[in-house]
């Protein structure tokens, strides 16, 4: 069961943008680069009305509030709505943030199924065990 928190406008927009720019610098997929660039260009000034921006706000809020150092991570994949996979290619580490409608935002990893964790650090560790196993 998803045990995370819901987030709506709890984090200062400047912190969200800084984190989005960090992810943009470490993202290689052209589609995801466009997604992050759209987010950065449409935050504030009414851009929060876009569903894509609102969902990414929740993801970024969760990551900021979690406090885990994600400076080497980029957005790796959005395999389905509300599922954001982040990957650090230098350290071969990943975590997932689940931000589906009407559910709490939480971290985890994907093995045979979705596995929810208490925080991003636990998601990275669980993912590493799955990838190495």
Residue 118 · residue 5 · CB < 8 Å: no
How do residues 43-66 score in pLDDT, each as one tens digit?
Answer: 755 555 667 788 899 999 999 999
What does the pLDDT read at residue 10?
A: 58
What does the pLDDT read at residue 48?
A: 55
What does the pLDDT read at residue 131?
A: 66
Residue 10 · residue 61 · CB < 8 Å: yes
Task: Give me the DSSP letters along 53-86.
Answer: HHHHHHHHHHHHHH----TT-EEEEEEETTEEEE
For the chain, state the CA radius of gyration: 14
What does the pLDDT read at residue 1?
A: 38
Quickly list H helices, the chain. 13-25, 30-42, 51-66, 120-132
Q: Which residues lie below 8 Å from residue 40, measured CB to CB, with a gap of 6+?
A: 17, 20, 21, 24
Residue 18 structure tokens:
């800084």
**How far apart are alpha carbons 115 and 70 in whole angstroms?**
20
What does the pLDDT read at residue 52?
A: 76
Backbone angles phi, psi at 75, to 5 degrees: -75, 120
What does the pLDDT read at residue 42?
A: 83
What does the pLDDT read at residue 123?
A: 96
What does the pLDDT read at residue 86?
A: 98
Residues of the chain with pLDDT under 70: 1-10, 44-50, 131-133
What does the pLDDT read at residue 8?
A: 52
């Amino acid at each position: 069961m998803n045990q995370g928190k819901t987030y709506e406008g709890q984090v200062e927009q400047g912190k969200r943008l800084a984190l989005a720019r960090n992810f943009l610098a470490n993202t290689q997929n052209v589609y995801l680069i466009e997604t992050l660039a759209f987010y950065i260009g449409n935050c504030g000034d009414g851009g929060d009305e876009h569903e894509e921006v609102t969902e990414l706000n929740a993801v970024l809020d969760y990551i900021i509030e979690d406090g885990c150092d994600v400076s080497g991570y980029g957005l790796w994949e959005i395999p389905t709505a509300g599922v954001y996979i982040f990957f650090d290619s230098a350290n071969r580490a990943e975590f997932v943030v689940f931000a589906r409608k009407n559910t709490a935002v939480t971290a985890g990893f994907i093995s045979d199924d979705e596995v929810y964790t208490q925080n991003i650090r636990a998601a990275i560790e669980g993912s590493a065990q799955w990838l190495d196993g």
